[in-house]
Homo-oligomer: A and B are copies of this chain.
Amino acid sequence: VILFIEIYKHNKEERIARTWGTTARGLPYVEEAITNAGDWLIGGDLEVIEPIKYNDGLDQYRLSPAQLREEFARRNADAVFAFQLRNPVHNGHALLMTDTRRRLLEMGYKNPVLLLHPLGGFTKADDVPLSVRMKQHEKVLEEGVLNPESTVVAIFPSPMHYAGPTEVQWHAKARINAGANFYIVGRDPAGMGHPTEKRDLYDADHGKKVLSMAPGLERLNILPFKVAAYDTKHNKMNFFDPSRKEDFLFISGTKMRSLAKNRESPPDGFMCPGGWKVLVEYYDSLAPPEGSSKLREAVA
């Protein structure tokens, strides 16, 4: 039920320009949800009668901000640190999260709890779908890469806008409402390549800078990430050490997806085996039927 209804003209050009900092064609969320939308917008106070059940096996992960705050209280968390993601969790992510917990313990917190909060709404076509990611996250906890005792996994029901510095403020603010007081932010959060030019759409440090200055986020402590990469000397994900940069291998989300797609294995220690299997099975299920060019390639 919407109360105190307000109706606005939908100035799409202005909305897109101010949100994405570009009006170039090919922005995934714009094409999904704005270009073909109507010319008017309705706003107001929303009263929800009961939460929506999707009956897709994931409803137990759909926790409201109030439910999340209750869960943190039940676990006696004295610090909650949130990690936003839209990709499978690899050991670099895990390193970041466990290292953050270590830092919070060092700061004197007794029971820091991680909110692992994968994005549940629209993502672009080549991202891994939610149900597969949730299965992968389950494996990461089952295999002990993350500690289930100090980790709450829930779905963040927002669509992905790929709007970089604008979107990261929404990502952070929403987690404050869910009880987080620490937010982990990496390089180029919510960023993507420019849709029509050969460059990143956003400066890689812009999101972090905006978060540290944005009004309304004063209550949130921003934890900038160190970059993790695959350390070929120690065969595991490690914080990047510029003094021996030749030892490190950067495996992007795109690279990870293409390895899984081609049934190639990532280097040992990149991701827990159970989690990797989930991805490979997903890409197998997508494989075109026998006789297609894809299979011929595999035979050749």
In the bound complex, residues from chain B placing their C-beta under 8 Å from that of A17 are 17-18, 20-23
CA distance A53 to B17 in the complex (A): 39
Within 8 A of B (CB), among A1-40: 8-9, 11, 13-14, 17-18, 20-24
A215's partner among B13, B18, B203, B216 (CB-CB below 8 A) is B216
The answer to whether B18 touches A21 (Cβ under 8 A) is yes
The answer to whether B21 touches A202 (Cβ under 8 A) is no
CA distance A21 to B20 in the complex (A): 10
In the bound complex, residues from chain B placing their C-beta under 8 Å from that of A11 are 21, 203
CA distance A216 to B218 in the complex (A): 13
The answer to whether B21 touches A14 (Cβ under 8 A) is yes
CA distance A23 to B13 in the complex (A): 9
CA distance A56 to B20 in the complex (A): 43
Q: What is the interface residue range for chain A against chain B? A: 10 to 19
Task: Give the nearest-CB partner of A15 in chain B.
Answer: B21
Within 8 A of B (CB), among A185-219: 201-203, 215-216
Task: Give the nearest-CB partner of A199 in chain B.
Answer: B11
- Among A17, A23, A201, residue most surrounded by chain B Cβ atoms (within 10 Å): A17
Q: State the Cβ distance, A168 to closest chain B Cβ, in Å.
A: 14
CA distance A164 to B77 in the complex (A): 46
Task: Give the nearest-CB partner of A201 in chain B.
Answer: B14
A22's partner among B20, B23, B24 (CB-CB below 8 A) is B23
Task: Give the nearest-CB partner of A164 in chain B.
Answer: B14
Q: State the Cβ distance, A193 to closest chain B Cβ, in Å.
A: 14
In the bound complex, residues from chain B placing their C-beta under 8 Å from that of A23 are 17, 22-23
Q: State the Cβ distance, A63 to closest chain B Cβ, in Å.
A: 30
The answer to whether B215 touches A9 (Cβ under 8 A) is no
0/1 interface trace, chain A 266-277, chain B, CB 8 Å (1 if under): 000000000000
In the bound complex, residues from chain B placing their C-beta under 8 Å from that of A201 are 14
Task: Give the nearest-CB partner of A216 in chain B.
Answer: B215
In the bound complex, residues from chain B placing their C-beta under 8 Å from that of A202 are 14
Task: Give the nearest-CB partner of A197 in chain B.
Answer: B13
Q: State the Cβ distance, A44 to closest chain B Cβ, in Å.
A: 16
Task: Give the nearest-CB partner of A214 in chain B.
Answer: B215
In the bound complex, residues from chain B placing their C-beta under 8 Å from that of A18 are 17-18, 21
CA distance A17 to B24 in the complex (A): 10
CA distance A203 to B18 in the complex (A): 14
The answer to whether B216 touches A9 (Cβ under 8 A) is no
CA distance A248 to B213 in the complex (A): 47
CA distance A14 to B18 in the complex (A): 9
CA distance A202 to B11 in the complex (A): 9
In the bound complex, residues from chain B placing their C-beta under 8 Å from that of A22 are 13-14, 17, 23
Beyond the given pairs A11-B21, A14-B202, A215-B216, 9 more chain A to chain B contacts, judged by CB atoms under 8 angstroms and listed by A's residue number, are: A9-B203, A11-B203, A13-B21, A13-B22, A14-B22, A17-B20, A18-B18, A22-B23, A215-B215
